[in-house]
């Protein structure tokens, strides 16, 4: 028996040493986390009256548990249980519903309750709202019921990429100068764009920033906020649905494929790599035409992205639908790729979307800056990445259908990216 145990120990030791160090570290961490998850009992949630009362002149009633540093209740049944636990005699359970005047999550009509009376005096009519309601425009009337747990510090990252010499550009179409919101054109001055970032940006503490690039002869400053990822080749690691992996093995790419390669290398980080980083609660994507100038970025994110929001995206500044965007976008792609067939491919793509159920009533978005909760949008972004590889690289055309198809809850920003990134957020390192 002792001899058998010795052999078993020896085999186990040989197996462990046959695993590469990095892989073993990941395996060990995963096993430890799983073990803790299985062994640690889940403590029962406790709840509190969290705010939202009608307040005195000059103040605004809270409209979310986030606003009082607590966690929201996220299901209708949990809302019922929580209301009972805080002492509310339930007369009616209303919802789930998307009332604009009712706070997100669990709340109860105020009745005669005051900030010092707690649950006493509330009406007993409990509501579960699924959108970021205003609590009667900030005047109050709905008392929040929240999880009695301090909200943890959110983990935030900023992603950007510059491949093939692309940064902020302008182009002329129909005798009018327009901004290319997807940065699909090329020039040889990415260095100027990056140097402007180094000189002018203001990054908040505790936010990670990653710049994925193929730029050469450009080095970040020693105190740079950017983690400079060069050469960025993560697109060689995820090959399940990735034409870049196929093209890597091909020695004779066509001219169109060469141009597409540079475009897709950047979009890989924008759509595919971003959802692999679920260790972050929020990731901000910003194209090279922007600067980060918001030292209070975490506060800004929490202001816009309440608990029910999966993604923040900017409304397109000039057009309202995919139908309006189809012509300009495909003609622009045809010019960039020197391939007129992309115009017909675009038409066929949108027709396919319609057959699949696309209504084209979602609106149109400028995808040059957005914020996501990566774990929540994974399926949508994998699908989105698949679509832009089909020959029409204008991701604005496919984005509205992806949102609609995957039922992603999007906060639609009707202001410029500077509302998120800070004043004067446009990168002056541009070259026409």
pLDDT digits (tens, 9 = 90+) for 78-130: 999 999 999 999 999 999 998 989 998 999 999 988 878 888 899 999 999 98
This prediction's pTM: 0.63
The confidence score (pLDDT) of residue 8 equals: 41
Q: Count of domains in the chain? A: 2
Residues 379 and 296 in one domain: yes
What parts of the chain have a pLDDT lower than 50?
1-44, 56-58, 166-190, 431-432
In a domain, 18, yes or no: no
Model pLDDT, residue 45: 54
At 36 the pLDDT is 29
Q: Is residue 313 part of a domain?
A: yes
Do 339 and 390 share a structural domain? yes
Q: Which domain holds residue 410?
A: 156-421
- Residue 91: predicted pLDDT: 95
Residues 356 and 413 in one domain: yes
Residues 146 and 164 in one domain: no
Residue 31 has a pLDDT of 31
Domain stop point among 133, 150, 167: 150
Q: Are 202 and 149 in contact (CB under 8 A)?
A: no
**Residue 142 shares a structural domain with residue 247:** no
């Amino acid at each position: 028996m002792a001899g058998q145990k010795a052999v078993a120990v020896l085999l186990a030791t040989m197996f462990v040493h046959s695993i590469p160090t990095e892989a073993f570290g990941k395996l060990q961490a995963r096993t430890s986390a799983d073990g803790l998850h299985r062994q640690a009992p889940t403590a029962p949630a406790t709840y509190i009256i969290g705010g939202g009362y009608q307040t005195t002149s000059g103040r605004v009633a809270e409209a979310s548990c986030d606003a009082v540093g607590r966690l929201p209740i996220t299901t209708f049944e949990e809302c019922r249980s929580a209301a009972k636990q805080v002492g509310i005699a339930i007369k009616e359970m209303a919802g789930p519903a998307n009332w604009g005047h009712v706070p997100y999550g669990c709340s109860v009509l105020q009745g005669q309750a005051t900030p010092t009376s707690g649950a006493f005096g509330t009406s007993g009519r409990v509501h579960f709202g699924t959108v970021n309601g205003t609590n009667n425009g900030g005047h109050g009337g709905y008392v929040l019921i929240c999880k009695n747990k301090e909200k943890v510090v959110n983990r935030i990252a900023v992603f950007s990429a510059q491949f093939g010499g692309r940064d902020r550009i302008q182009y002329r179409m129909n005798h009018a100068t327009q901004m290319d919101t997807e940065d699909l054109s090329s020039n040889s001055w990415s260095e100027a764009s990056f140097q402007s970032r180094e000189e002018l940006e203001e990054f908040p503490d505790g936010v990670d920033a990653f710049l994925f690039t193929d730029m050469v002869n450009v080095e970040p400053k020693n105190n740079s906020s950017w983690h400079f990822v060069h050469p960025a080749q993560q697109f060689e690691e995820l090959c399940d649905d990735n034409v870049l992996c196929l093209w890597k093995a091909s020695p004779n790419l066509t001219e169109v494929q060469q141009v597409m390669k540079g475009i897709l290398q950047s979009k890989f980080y924008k759509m595919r790599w971003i959802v692999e980083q679920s260790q972050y609660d929020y990731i901000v994507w910003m194209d090279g035409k922007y600067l980060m100038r918001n030292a209070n970025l975490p506060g800004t994110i929490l202001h816009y992205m309440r608990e029910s929001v999966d993604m923040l995206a900017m409304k397109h500044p000039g057009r309202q639908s995919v139908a309006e965007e189809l012509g300009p976008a495909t003609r622009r792609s045809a010019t960039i790729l020197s391939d007129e067939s992309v115009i017909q491919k675009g038409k066929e793509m949108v027709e396919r979307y319609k057959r699949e159920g696309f209504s084209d009533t979602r609106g149109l978005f400028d995808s040059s800056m957005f914020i996501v909760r990566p774990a929540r949008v994974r399926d949508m972004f994998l699908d989105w990445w698949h679509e832009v590889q089909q020959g029409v690289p204008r991701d604005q055309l496919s984005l509205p259908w992806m949102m609609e198809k995957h039922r992603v809850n999007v906060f639609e920003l009707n202001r410029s990216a500077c509302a998120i990134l800070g004043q004067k957020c446009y990168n002056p390192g541009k070259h026409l």
